Structure 1
Amino acid sequence: MTSLEDLTRLVPPPASPPPTDWNAVEALLGTRLPDDYKQLADTYGPGAFCDFVRLYHPHGPTEWVDLTGPMPARLRGQLETDRAGGTYPMPHAPEDLFAVGVTDNGNHLFWITTPLEEPDAWRVTVNQADGHAWYTYDGNLTSFLASLLSGHVHPPVFPDGLLGNGAFFTPSRPVDESTPPAPHPTGTTSREVIRERARSHGYDVPDRGRIPGHVIQAWEQAQ
């Protein structure tokens, strides 16, 4: 039984996920992607496992979870800055990491893209939200999810109660661009929450003053 079969038996996928033109996606990214990921993305579509692990997907409804959007490059740049400044120790070279997911706690999932020309050999690593700790899984993304959601592995950077409500998948709702954006949140607490969550997703946000409009928009769409 394959890892995808294990996963779909454990977590039934939605009925009609959107199709993806993988040739176009790989041409846009300039690299081949692991076959297991493409099969996984075609089976489930964009969404979240246990309302916690959100994989990046070419049809991600916002730039925060779009595989072809700015987040993978933005996060790699932040890691390079951290390494150059000695901010956090990291077990992998930033140039070898490609972000492929995020959790609601601000952890990021990365492919370790070595060897670059053999994407089916890429392993998975996850960082702690503040960057201090890392967990590396010796296998592909689908195998990691199947092991995680079956309870066979539990990264120490993930919360203990992850499987408290069982294993399930929630598809993303498409963003309705005809709907006017929600009013910008006001109040110190709301803005501090936005700043904290934005930084955990790789945005550069000032400690004080105006929060950039694209950051607020991304927050509103995510909500």
Structure 2
Amino acid sequence: MPLPDDYKQLADAYGPGTFCGFLHLYHPHAPTQWVDLTGPMPATIRQQLQHDRDRGTHPVPHDPRHLFPMGATDNGEYLFWVTEPPTVPDQWHIALNEARGPRWYAYEGGIADFLVAVLTGQARVLLFPKDVLDQGVYFTPSVPAPRQLHQEVPTSTAISTQEIRTWARAHGYDVPDRGRIPGGIVDGWRQAHGQ
């Protein structure tokens, strides 16, 4: 699949990591499969959206086949490319879904323009916390983690987020009571439990 030029430049310049401790862009060389652009997450998220759309659980304003997950927030929102037209990636625009609700946000531009608009305060995404920019604008590179190539990812095994939160707190991690659990903590829990 071709990718937008602005994303390729961003990925080359910054590598895997997080903007403002909140916004994670998926990257082909990410330290874990959970934020890897070429890993299992994009397909898994797309399947969830198709399931929601088929069952009417949450409205999905685009055909899930035209949504390519390319990032996430610490609150659990996903960022998507709306891949229309499919063969002209530099014309794709950005969509975000609410983590635990039906709302969507659309940005009529590419990921680089979206980041500039959000991180300079020119665009306000109502799905994001008001204090996202309170600590200033910064980028934190991901810490590389050991990975196994071609690792099978269980798709039917449910993981109790409460169990992960309890384990994380017992091991000195600061985790929120609700929302997305940072990928590094989930990876640590999986490693500690042989998963």
Which residue does 1:190 correspond to in 2? 166
How far does the alpha carbon of each residue in 1:23-66 deviate from its partner, in whole angstroms, 9 at most, with x for none? xxxxxxxx100011000100100000001000000111111110
Instruction: Classify the secondary structure of the residue corresponding to 2:81.
Output: strand
Task: Confirm or deny that 1:149 pairs with 2:125.
Answer: no
Which residue does 2:27 correspond to in 1? 57
Q: 2:4 aligns with which of 34, 53, 72?
A: 34
Which residue does 1:78 correspond to in 2? 48
Which residue does 2:110 correspond to in 1? 140
Given that 1:56 and 1:100 are in contact with CA atoms closer than 8 Å, whether structure 2 keeps it comes out as yes
Within 5 A, what are the aligned runs for 1:163-178? 163-176=133-146
Instruction: Classify the secondary structure of the residue corresponding to 1:148.
Output: helix
Given that 1:64 and 1:218 are in contact with CA atoms closer than 8 Å, whether structure 2 keeps it comes out as no
Query: Relative to structure 1, is the Cα distance of residues 220 and 88 closer, same or farther in structure 2, using a 3 angstrom cutoff?
Result: same
Q: What count of residue pairs does the alignment treat as equivalent?
A: 170
Instruction: Classify the secondary structure of the residue corresponding to 2:143.
Output: coil
Q: State TM-score, norm by structure 1.
A: 0.69
Task: Confirm or deny that 1:93 pairs with 2:63.
Answer: yes
Q: CA deviation at 1:92?
A: 1.1
Instruction: Classify the secondary structure of the residue corresponding to 2:69.
Output: strand
Over the aligned positions, Cα root-mean-square deviation in angstroms equals 2.8
In structure 2, runs of 5+ residues without a counterpart are 148-160, 169-175
Query: Relative to structure 1, is the Cα distance of residues 97 and 191 closer, same or farther in structure 2, using a 3 angstrom cutoff?
Result: farther
In structure 1, runs of 5+ residues without a counterpart are 1-30, 178-184, 202-214
Letter in 2 for 1:45: G
Which residue does 1:107 correspond to in 2? 77
* Segments of 4+ moved more than 3 angstroms: 185-189, 191-198, 215-221
Letter in 2 for 1:164: D
Which residue does 1:116 correspond to in 2? 86
Q: State TM-score, norm by structure 2.
A: 0.79
Query: Relative to structure 1, is the Cα distance of residues 76 and 187 closer, same or farther in structure 2, using a 3 angstrom cutoff?
Result: closer
What is the alpha-carbon distance in structure 1 between the residues aligned to residue 130 and residue 178 of structure 2?
26
What is the alpha-carbon distance in structure 2 between the residues aligned to residue 187 and residue 127 of structure 1?
26
What is the alpha-carbon distance in structure 1 between the residues aligned to residue 74 and residue 56 of structure 2?
26
Query: Relative to structure 1, is the Cα distance of residues 188 and 36 closer, same or farther in structure 2, using a 3 angstrom cutoff?
Result: closer
What is the alpha-carbon distance in structure 2 between the residues aligned to residue 186 and residue 65 of structure 1?
21
The percent identity for this pair of structures is 49
Q: CA deviation at 1:217?
A: 3.5
